[in-house]
Amino acid sequence: MILMADEDYMRLAIQAAKEGHDTWTNPHVGACIVKDGQVLATGCHYHYGREHAERNAINKLTPEQLFGSTIYVTLEPCSHYGKQPPCAELLVQSGFKKVVVAALDPHPLVTGKGIKILEDAGIEVEVGLLAKEARALNPFYNFYYEHGRPYISLKQAITLDGKVAVKGERTPITNAAVKKQVLQERGDYQAIMVGAKTAIIDNPTLLTSKEGDFPPIRVVVDRRGRLLDHLDLKLLQTGPETWVLTLNEDLANTVFPDNVHVLLLPGRKARDIAQLLGEKGIQSVYLEGGPTLAKAFLDADLADDLITYLAPFYLGKQTTNGVNSQETLQLTDTKIQTFNDNIRIYGRIQHV
């Protein structure tokens, strides 16, 4: 007979968490219930608004099975009422003998409070088992609550001479395989952001190929109000939700379709944009363009990773340069992939 250890049970909980789908602003969480060395049930937070991982696992068992058992959960049980009642109280009511938590929840309504409820009820609590692996389930969620702003990925597609477009023209750079990858990649984020110039020249839809109930919000930064002369853009018509961020009062007072919302910026700097998106609950941003907007975030030390797609040709004169850094830029956790004759280069940006 093979005996399982605590780490094995927590790994089952981590694996269960990955089965979650469309949790939107909520984290991916998994749970595993064990009694007398036997795994009784696993559960996950499957969908935003539905039962959390602990409740999902508990609902599969009888009160007799639950009493005196141990539950392994990848994230601290919640302690507040939201879409679902507090899981910490549910664990107390279910008669668990021990609760093993991989990572504390960085959400200010939860941090430490869920643990306290359990300990005050006399339940043995262990924290920190496979914490690194559990935290990796929710990198954007953790970053948002620990830094008070969205995690921001800069994405660019450049040629061998570092160009992104012929000036003033929509210029395809990458191949079909990359375009398919980007359509999938967008779905990993809660918002996709471009500047007004990119929106006007490229007239993109900024859609994702990932299916789900919560497609990324499309964000256009238009401080000056240039979209007033381009109200027929695809982003301003039907489709997923679009936010236009501006300083222009006329644009803010313009009537748009119901899916378009104009938000007034508190200022014109990149930090003001990040602040507004953070206040609106956006945890992650895929910044697609253009280079001016990307450089503003890079120079403000607000970019967290860089995704570069490199195409094997030169664009030549009368072109626009890709984003450049004013300072030496160190990338970590680098990863290189090929998409036929195009290359994807990923790296996390080390903040100063």
Q: Per the annotation, does 226 bind a ligand?
A: no
Please name the residue that has the structure tokens 């909520």.
Answer: 26
Q: Per the annotation, does 186 bind a ligand?
A: yes
**Is position 54 annotated as part of the catalytic site?**
yes
Cα separation, 215 vs 191, in Å, equals 8
Q: Per the annotation, does 288 bind a ligand?
A: yes
Would you give the end-to-end CA distance of the chain in angstroms?
A: 52
Backbone angles phi, psi at 327, to 5 degrees: -120, 170
Q: Per the annotation, does 290 bind a ligand?
A: yes
Q: Per the annotation, does 316 bind a ligand?
A: no
Q: Per the annotation, does 17 bind a ligand?
A: no
Q: Per the annotation, does 334 bind a ligand?
A: no
The residues, any chain, with a CB within 8 Å of residue 226's CB and separated by 6 or more, are: 196, 197, 200
Task: Tell me which long-range contacts 120-127 makes (C-beta under 8 A, separation of at least 24).
Answer: 121/92, 123/91, 123/92, 123/96, 123/97, 123/98, 123/99, 124/97, 124/98, 124/99, 125/98, 125/99, 125/100, 125/101, 126/98, 126/99, 126/100, 126/101, 127/76, 127/101, 127/102, 127/103
Neighbouring C-beta atoms of residue 340, cutoff 10 Å: 10
Q: With contact defined as beta carbons under 8 Å apart, do 127 and 6 qualify?
A: no
Q: With contact defined as beta carbons under 8 Å apart, do 177 and 153 qualify?
A: no
Cα-to-chain-centroid distance, residue 326: 27
Structure tokens at 194: 């471009």
Q: Which one of 7, 51, 54, 146 is the catalytic residue?
A: 54
Q: Per the annotation, does 78 bind a ligand?
A: yes
Q: Per the annotation, does 198 bind a ligand?
A: yes
Q: Per the annotation, does 292 bind a ligand?
A: yes
Q: Per the annotation, does 293 bind a ligand?
A: yes
Q: Per the annotation, does 223 bind a ligand?
A: no
Q: Per the annotation, does 52 bind a ligand?
A: yes
Q: Per the annotation, does 87 bind a ligand?
A: yes
Annotated binding-site positions for Zn(2+)? 52, 78, 87
Question: Which residues define the annotated binding site for NADP(+)?
Answer: 157, 198, 202, 290-296
**What residues are designated binding site?**
52, 78, 87, 157, 186, 198, 202, 206, 288, 290-296
Q: Which residues are annotated as a binding site for substrate?
A: 186, 206, 288
> Which residues are known to be catalytic?
54
